[in-house]
Chains A and B, each alone.
Chain A
């Protein structure tokens, strides 16, 4: 940083006793309406020139009071609302909610329903990572990946549309199983998608993995250590990219993930580049899981016996799943009536966003954009 006084010295001005503008530290507002904040996130940056000294997030612009709404709806009626939190991974939200209520009711979805759930949830993980990759690369200046990922994501949305009529807020699952049997040709279309999609991951990687601009913009940017991740409660690909081999699908298996073989990809440096690699590898693992699930899709009922009017016995349950963004938990308190007494959602984006400050310190302003992108937040979920 040059001395503000010396920069004025070429002008024929009397040197002021104090610099009239303290240029060493300035506070800049970013957002809430900013194309790179992925929604309405406001970040107040404290800068020394281009260098970030610290920042504060201001959130809540999308707050809709989902938890309050939950207390005023029956268990079944609340189900579609959860899709609207993380709207790019609506199927995962639904899975977490349905499984939590099933725990309260002490029922288990039949095997066929579990398999279809795994297929749709893993497809959703791919779709969510595709959307992340497209927008993240766009933020950093690579426009092409966006067109590639959105083109391919369309194929997943088509499967959803055929299955349940919706593309984004799918409401695919019901408490106790599924409402719809799979459509004719479902298995074939999923298999076709896998054959179609496998080379596409290579295509994305060809565009970025060794691309010099991409590497320069992401390597050693936004580093977070494993210890920091755990202290902040950061989960999902961000935690794994810092070298912690932890995935709820393995650690505390839910649905029927224990029947499938897959690896947990991890990174070493915990930087933006490693998080990119981890998510790319996760897409490949999702393909593996879907392939096993669709090949072993059992016949049978798709709905467990659940009462028409659900009145779970009084009690409290916390259940969480590995959503594309991290640990998505539901804490539901039942008082024995038809409506939950309290629904608490533990959103991964909200908790992960807290780490933005430590990840950005000492970096440049342009890197803040990269770090927001790499955290993969959805403001609908942060604010609920």
Chain B
């Protein structure tokens, strides 16, 4: 599978293994196509997880990771891409319905938007909250004091 994909996409894709787990690093531009191919042609029919990691020192600040599983092949693969702050990604809700909440959580925690998502809003934090807590520049004690004061009627949540 990897050889075939590599043949089709060449330098835009790199297949790697760490601790016995396969993953591939893919160019942002190839993401919509590769996810579609993995779902339709390679039988990765179960989207396990979508998540992100923030590296503030890098130019492309975010790693976005899709964890996929195929029931037919009993195989797991991770797809990883790098994007700059403010860039968007195509939503994979049309490919896997279950991506809906997972993408909302990535948006909530990192501020990465997914184009074409049916309901792109926060999921764990309240609407109107400022900041995205899993970014590295968001302090562990930091909170949206204004929101807390207006909505909870207390000075601080700490």
Contacts and interface: CB of A to CB of B under 8 A. Distances in A.
Interface of A: 59-60, 63, 65, 67-69, 71-72, 103-104, 106, 228, 230-234, 244, 246, 251-252, 315-318, 320, 327, 329, 331, 333, 341-342, 344, 346, 350-351, 354, 383-384
A383 B51 CA distance: 15
Given A68-B133, A318-B76, 10 more contacts: A59-B123, A63-B124, A63-B125, A68-B140, A103-B19, A104-B19, A244-B71, A342-B134, A346-B51, A354-B98
A331 B65 contact: yes
A350 B47 CA distance: 14
A383 B138 CA distance: 19
Contacts of A327: 48
Contacts of B46: 230, 233
A60 B126 contact: yes
A49 B10 CA distance: 57
Q: From B18, B49, B96, name the one whose CB has the most chain A CB atoms within 10 angstroms.
A: B49
B34 interface: no
Contacts of B21: 317-318
A63 B134 CA distance: 13
Interface string B94-112: 0011101110000001000
Nearest to A228: B97
Contacts of A331: 49, 51, 65, 67
**Which of under 10, 10 to 19, 20 to 34, or 35 or more describes the interface residues of B?**
20 to 34
Contacts of B126: 60
Given A60-B125, A318-B67, A233 B98 contact: yes
A65 B144 CA distance: 14
A231 B74 contact: no
B96 A233 contact: yes
Given A231-B98, A351-B98, A344 B51 contact: yes
A52 B53 CA distance: 39
A69 B45 CA distance: 32
Given A60-B124, A233-B48, A331-B65, A317 B74 contact: no
Contact of A251 (B74, B100, B109, B134): B74
B17 to A, nearest CB: 11
A231 B54 CA distance: 28
Given A65-B133, A315-B18, A354-B101, A233 B124 contact: no
A318 B124 contact: no
A104 B18 CA distance: 9
Q: From B23, B53, B100, name the one whose CB has the most chain A CB atoms within 10 angstroms.
A: B53
Interface in B41-93: 45-49, 51, 53-54, 65, 67, 71, 74, 76, 78
> Which 5 pairs from chain A and chain B are nearest by CB?
A233-B98, A60-B124, A232-B98, A346-B49, A231-B97
Contacts of B124: 59-60, 63, 383-384
Given A68-B134, A316-B18, A346-B67, A230 B74 contact: no
Contacts of B48: 233, 318, 320, 327, 329, 346
22 contacts: A60-B123, A65-B133, A103-B19, A104-B19, A106-B19, A228-B97, A231-B96, A232-B97, A233-B47, A244-B71, A315-B18, A317-B18, A317-B19, A318-B67, A318-B76, A318-B78, A331-B65, A341-B53, A344-B51, A354-B100, A354-B101, A383-B124
Nearest to A327: B48
Contacts of B97: 228, 231-232
B81 to A, nearest CB: 14
Contacts of A228: 97
A352 B123 CA distance: 15
A104 B140 CA distance: 25
Contacts of B45: 230-231
A384 B124 CA distance: 9
A106 B71 CA distance: 27
Contacts of A231: 45, 96-98
Contacts of B98: 231-234, 351, 354
B140 A69 contact: yes
